[in-house]
Chains A and B, each alone.
Chain A
Amino acid sequence: MFAITIKEFTSLFKSTRSIIIIIFLFGVTAGSAKLISQFETQLRDLGLGDNAFVGGLMILLFLAGPLFVTSISHSIVNKEIDSRTIRFLATKTSRDNIILGKFLGNILFWIICLITALLLIIPFSEAFYFSEFFQSIIFVSYFVGLTIFLSTIIGNPSLTMFLGITISIVLPILGIWGMFSENLIIKFISYLTPYFYYTHENTYYTYFVAIFTFMYLILSLIVFRRRDL
């Protein structure tokens, strides 16, 4: 499993799309932190506290995070099924190890990216935001889990790319819409998105999102065990 994790992790750093995302993520994080540092006194007067420095990163992650994840991982499983490289893996290790290895490889990629982004803020904030780090990892893991699930149930990589991009645009809209809407259907759908939990005042709600990640992962394992490769 760990060989697959390491391969996924390293191959993510080699793709042009990932490099663009990393540069964008780091640029926005450092840029917004620098900008905020210029208004530090005013922000403190407004009672926005120390975590204002991490605001740029969090807003970027909430709005564009799904798009980042789906654009680099939309074909994480079905590409290997389509090209049949999966046959060499599936005859050497269990199918569960393949899914878990791929999931962990992607999570590890985001852990490294987010740690680096948060380290870039330290010169301005003089603090490392542990709570925001864990929250952002859980947020990203929701979309990694969802992407793996889609890539397991849908065989066509082009379709998962289309679906991934659509979901990454629709989910934030539905999630935020659900906060203000009285429509029960919209409200219900928003409960299935991480946005409902992340916009709640109590930050502990954000940890509930990990249940969705776990659920997507379990469903992916069940579907993948039954698939013909």
Chain B
Amino acid sequence: MKAISTWDLTKRYGNKTVVNNLNLEIEKGSIFGFLGKNGAGKSTFINMITGLTRPTSGSFEILGEEGNSLKKVRHRIGVLPDYSTFYETYTALDHLKYYSKILRLSLTTQELKDILKKVELEDAINLKTKNFSFGMKKKLGLAQALINKPDLLFLDEPTSGVDANSILNIHSLIREVSAQGTTIFLTSHNLDEVEKLCDDIAIMNKGIIQIKGNMQQLRKQYQDNISVYIKHESISETKQSKLRNDMGLFVKNVNIAADHSEFHIEDESAIPKINNYLVSENISVYRLEVEEPSLEEIFLNLGEKKHSA
């Protein structure tokens, strides 16, 4: 079952098309990563899906309900918008009390304090938000999104402006919430974060989804080559030269030194061939590392391809 489905979803501001005929399906229970540069249309997409902005055209379904029936599912959704500000004279606890009343939740003060503790705001429970740092506001934004134990959680840049330790805590919180069955829709500029957390990823550019899939599919689709690094016993120059000639027959790019070699292959099937060859030549292998393209490389690769096109 799909948590989110969109059909030709479009948003225009005057002549500018921010989201262009977007068709997307997100599986229930998954962590979906939405990537893209500033202005790619990520936040506008979230705003449309969560009812903050009206689509110019197209339609969508969210948790099985049509976009114009958001009322029915609002209590099952948590949203951390891209830019969060709070009532300056309210404390963190006041905010959660207020939002829980709006959602008609019967949470005790202790339960609300526990939510604040989860996002590491236990020392700021009674602090007015006018004294909050940007990172603390992000955490409070996350706390208010979790208050109703949502089935679908939208997190727009949840870790931007947050310190390194807190980022790790937020990551573990995202995993914890996901383990409870919540579908998470995450946008981020941090490619490493998306790669670590997300089951499925889409990269958006100028309102259009350029690629979509899980990491394995993206790697397969967008990898130019796989790098294989081998640390082996020290070999003579004659043997190095032989290796260079023989390997060149089935490996694209060979770089051989006395105690290590680097190969760039197009297909994983070349790895056992390399290994077998080294064994047949009686060269002892100490270490073999295969480097796959990271999301960052795919992202950059995508940009270069677009540029050269």
Contact = CB atoms under 8 A, between A and B. Distances in A.
Contact of B52 (A6, A83, A87, A93): A87
B220 interface: no
Given A91-B77, A92-B99, A85 B47 contact: no
Contacts, number: 54
Nearest to B86: A85
A62 B217 CA distance: 71
A154 B75 CA distance: 30
Contacts of A94: 71, 74
A84 B102 CA distance: 17
Chain B CB within 10 Å — which of A3, A85, A91 has the most? A91
A215 B103 CA distance: 28
Given A14-B89, A84-B83, A84-B85, A92 B52 contact: no
B54 A3 contact: no
Contact of A83 (B77, B85, B89): B85
B53 A229 contact: yes
Interface string A166-190: 0000000000000000000000000
B52 A91 contact: yes
Contact of A3 (B47, B86, B98, B144): B98
B227 interface: no
B18 to A, nearest CB: 11
B85 A85 contact: yes
Given A83-B85, A84-B83, A228 B99 contact: no
Contacts of A229: 47, 52-53
Nearest to A1: B102
A90 B86 contact: no
A144 to B, nearest CB: 21
A92 B86 contact: no
B74 A92 contact: yes
Interface string A55-95: 00000000000000000000000000001110111111110
Q: Dominant SS at the A interface?
A: helix
- Chain B interface residue bracket vs A: 20 to 34
Interface string B77-104: 1010101111101000000001101110
Interface string B58-72: 000000000000010
B84 A91 contact: no
A200 interface: no
Contacts of B75: 92
A90 B51 contact: yes
Contact of B102 (A4, A14, A85): A4
Contacts of B87: 85
Nearest to B71: A94
Given A14-B89, A228-B52, A87 B102 contact: no
B102 A228 contact: no
A84 B54 CA distance: 17
A1 B36 CA distance: 37
B54 A90 contact: no
A7 interface: yes
A228 B51 contact: no
Nearest to A96: B71
Contacts of B85: 83-85
Contacts of B223: none
A132 B144 CA distance: 44
Nearest to B88: A83
B50 interface: yes
Contacts of B144: 88
Contacts of A91: 50-52, 74, 77, 79, 81
Interface string A112-131: 00000000000000000000
Contacts of B50: 91
Chain B CB within 10 Å — which of A2, A84, A92 has the most? A92
Chain A CB within 10 Å — which of B83, B86, B98 has the most? B98
Interface in A1-22: 2-4, 6-7, 14
Given A14-B89, A88-B81, A229-B53, 20 more contacts: A84-B81, A84-B84, A84-B85, A85-B85, A85-B87, A87-B79, A88-B79, A88-B84, A88-B144, A90-B51, A91-B52, A91-B74, A91-B81, A92-B75, A93-B102, A93-B103, A228-B52, A228-B53, A229-B47, A229-B52
30 contacts: A3-B102, A4-B102, A14-B89, A84-B81, A84-B83, A84-B85, A85-B86, A87-B79, A87-B84, A88-B79, A88-B81, A88-B86, A90-B51, A90-B52, A91-B50, A91-B51, A91-B74, A91-B77, A91-B81, A92-B74, A92-B99, A92-B102, A92-B103, A93-B74, A93-B102, A94-B74, A226-B54, A228-B47, A228-B53, A229-B53
